[in-house]
Amino acid sequence: MKYITLGVSQVPAIGLGTYKLQGAVAIDVIRKAIAIGYRHIDTAQLYENEKEVGEAIQTSGVPRDEIFLTTKIWPSNLHEDRFMRSLEESLRKLRTDHVDLLLIHWPHQQLLIEDYMPRLMMAQQAGLAKEIGVSNFNISQLKTALKTGAGVVTNQVEFHPWINQTKLHGWMQEHQLPLTAYCPLGQGRFMTDQKLIEIAAIYLRSPAQIILRWLMQKENILAIPKSVNTHRLIENINVFDFDLSAEEMQMIDAWRLENQRVVGTQAGARWD
Ligand code: NDP
């Protein structure tokens, strides 16, 4: 496993995504993932599975402090009177007294970044979040967030070979801000891409492993693929025993020109 420094934490570069995992399946998949070796788990208030994540971790047999746990505050909870209450509820469901990383899930459409970033800092100062960060922020929003003095350690955004994140990624690199790639597998949409299948055949690896290897060979990138299948969970974390050539890396880099976004710019969600 490769580790990325986020603040004072050393974080496994591959974590487990949990979007759309709920109920008994979620508990089973998360427990299996931990048994396989996952030590970084990503959830969010939106996913309505914090309870399952908490139960799976607590009954996994692995101590809580060996798992890097992320959750995200949904925009409607960024209001002053809701922020802390919602975080406390998340912690209760997650059966823990702190998360390792607390993110703003999406920038709010009306509230100012300058207004809600201090709430994230307060949560950190109170020991409820070891690290803090943002998600779905563009460069200008990141600049505003950093100006508030918040110790943002990552920006979690959609990133895979078919999306053009050159500007954002370049800016984050310049500012030594690690990028967490969500939908690293493009939600499975590109697995039949012929160019990808050809590279996978060279290494006798799956298409998913080639994508994750491409991400891992870049600097300061974390990825949080999700799967309900045990063999895919194993596959997705086993990408550290082969290297793509510089030519292959460049070839995959070029696919970004197709620029296909899997998640809508505001996730189609409404909030107030
Ligand atoms: P992913 O890119 O992780 O793709 C998941 C899909 O790929 C599933 O359909 C899965 O199918 C399939 N898959 C997984 N592994 C393999 C494999 N080895 N071979 C073939 N297919 C595979 O999509 P997600 O949307 O789940 O994104 C990952 C995580 O990122 C989320 O779970 C969530 O935690 C986070 N996220 C954050 C967002 C944000 O706004 N901050 C937005 C969206 C996601 P199956 O399960 O059947 O194996």
Ligand 1 pocket, residue 226 CB under 6 Å: yes
Closest ligand 1 atom to residue 103 Cα is: 41
pLDDT score recorded for residue 155: 98
Kindly list the averaged pLDDT for each block of 10 residues, start to end, along the chain of length 272: 98 98 98 98 98 98 98 97 98 98 96 97 98 98 98 98 96 97 97 96 98 98 98 98 98 94 71 61
Residue keyed to tokens 């996978």: 200
Q: What is the DSSP letter of 268?
A: T
Give the nearest ligand 1 atom to 185 CA: 2
Contact by Cβ (8 Å): 214, 161:
yes
pTM of this structure: 0.97
**Domains (range + CATH), the chain:** 3-189+221-238 (3.20.20.100)
Task: Say what percent of the chain tops pLDDT 90.
Answer: 96
For ligand 1, the distance from its centroid to the CA atom of residue 188, given in whole angstroms, is 7
Residue 160 to residue 259: CA distance in whole angstroms: 10
State whether residue 61 is helix, strand or coil: coil
* Protein residue with its CA nearest to atom 10 in ligand 1: 227
Going by DSSP bridges, is the β-strand pair 3-6/9-12 parallel, antiparallel, or unpaired? antiparallel
Residue among 14, 159, 183 to mutate when testing ligand 1 (max atoms within 8 A of CB): 183
Is 3 catalytic? The answer is no
In the Cβ-directed half-sphere of 50, how many Cα atoms lie within 13 Å? Answer: 23
**Locate tokens 């459409």: which residue?**
109
